[in-house]
């Protein structure tokens, strides 16, 4: 859940300019999955950071509607419930949020953070007022993430980065990774394993393929390089749940059945 969500990401830029069968949550919208400490998916969340005016409107934007349709698709196939949650993006602390979901007959209901935590508990999530065990990335990109870290002890949570579509249905999901580490040397970080397993368990319920897609960012001068793309297949059913498929040129990657 990064600030300025994926602004300037070369992979997204390439997809947007070459294809029409990919979908992803744009800036200030996130498609999240929450699970328990055993990485079992319990809840899909469409999270939206809004201006005060948009928050008060009790309507969905076209961008939100697009992501909601994919949340519903994953929910229908996996039987994992989904909810929409919005908050005011320029607040310093999370003092209120709105929730909307099928159980509420798509009516918007405003909740305090404690009440929202109770809703999450109702979906089988273990929510306690402690700092999340994840110590990486203590820079909060918004007040919801700050609150999430506070209540996230015993909670596994991850974003869904980008979805590849076939006939309007999700065929594959790519977890995008990039860093200054050379592409030949990079491998998935153990700190992310729980997130990968959580997502894989969800996608296995849907018959959706799941991959880690890595590209190198050159530091000086800065260059987000997707001329080579490293791909790992993720499958939580396997003992070795991630396996290297190879390093491909951009053209090779997009011609493959990933």
Please give the model's pTM, rounded to 2 decimal places: 0.92
Residue range 156-204, pLDDT digits in tens: 999 999 999 999 999 999 999 999 999 999 999 999 999 999 999 999 9
Residue range 49-108, pLDDT digits in tens: 999 999 999 999 999 999 999 999 999 999 999 999 999 999 999 999 999 999 899 999
pLDDT of res. 135: 43
**Cα→Cα distances 107→18, 64, 104, 176, 238, Å:** 38, 15, 6, 34, 41
Contacts of 165 (CB under 8 A, 6+ apart): 21, 22, 23, 171
Mean pLDDT of 13-35: 96
Where along the chain do its domains lie?
26-157, 162-255
Element (H, E) at 113: helix 113-122
Residue range 209-226, pLDDT digits in tens: 999 999 999 888 889 999
Q: Annotate 171-207 with DSSP letters as a single string.
A: EEEEEEEEESS-TTT----GGGHHHHHHHHHHHHHHT
Mean pLDDT of 239-248: 96
């Amino acid at each position: 859940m990064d600030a300025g969500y994926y602004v300037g990401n070369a992979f997204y830029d390439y997809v947007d300019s070459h294809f029409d069968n990919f979908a992803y949550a744009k800036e200030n919208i996130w498609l999240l999955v929450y699970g328990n400490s055993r990485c079992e998916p319990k809840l899909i969340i469409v999270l939206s950071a809004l201006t005060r005016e948009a928050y008060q409107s009790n309507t969905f934007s076209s961008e939100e509607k697009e992501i909601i349709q994919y949340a519903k698709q994953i929910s229908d196939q996996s039987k994992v419930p989904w909810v929409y949650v919005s908050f005011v993006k320029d607040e310093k602390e999370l003092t209120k949020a709105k929730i909307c979901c099928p159980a509420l007959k798509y009516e918007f209901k405003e909740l305090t953070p404690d009440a929202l935590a109770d809703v999450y508990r109702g979906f089988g999530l273990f929510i306690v007022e402690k700092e999340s065990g994840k110590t990486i990335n203590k820079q909060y990109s918004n007040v919801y993430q700050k609150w999430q870290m506070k209540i996230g002890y015993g909670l596994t949570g991850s974003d869904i980065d980008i979805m590849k579509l076939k006939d309007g249905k999700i065929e594959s999901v790519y977890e995008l990774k990039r860093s200054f580490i050379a592409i030949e040397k990079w491998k998935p970080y153990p700190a992310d394993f729980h997130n990968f397993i959580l997502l894989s368990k969800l996608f296995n319920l849907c018959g959706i393929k799941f991959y880690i897609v890595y590209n190198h960012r050159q530091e000086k001068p800065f260059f987000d390089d997707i001329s080579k793309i490293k791909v790992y297949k993720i499958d939580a059913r396997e003992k070795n749940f991630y396996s290297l498929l190879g390093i491909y040129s951009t053209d090779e990657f997009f011609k493959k059945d990933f």
